[in-house]
Amino acid sequence: MVMDRQPVFEFIHYPEFGEAEKICPAVKIVYTLYSDGQTVHDMREQFNYFLKACSYHIPLDEEE
């Protein structure tokens, strides 16, 4: 899929290489936003999605 728009924001998680790859392969996670019309609340929500993709647990009481 080819996007005709340039990314506005990108959150990137680079893998660490070491012993863990014997159990689970290293992956690079890229979460790209193509809209610059995000509110602060929207950006926080998108960043929470990125953190969840990186396997971070976000407790429900901290979510809005």
pLDDT of res. 21: 66
β-strand partners of 30: 12
Residue 55, in any domain of the structure? yes
- In the chain, where do the E strands start and end? 9-13, 29-33
Residue 34, in any domain of the structure? yes
Give how many domains the chain has, as a whole number.
1
15-26 exposure pattern, b = at least 16 Cβ within 10 A, e = fewer = eeeeeeeeeeee
pLDDT in tens, the chain (64 residues): 556 788 899 999 988 877 766 677 778 999 999 988 889 999 999 999 999 999 888 787 655 5
- Residue 35, domain extent: 9-62
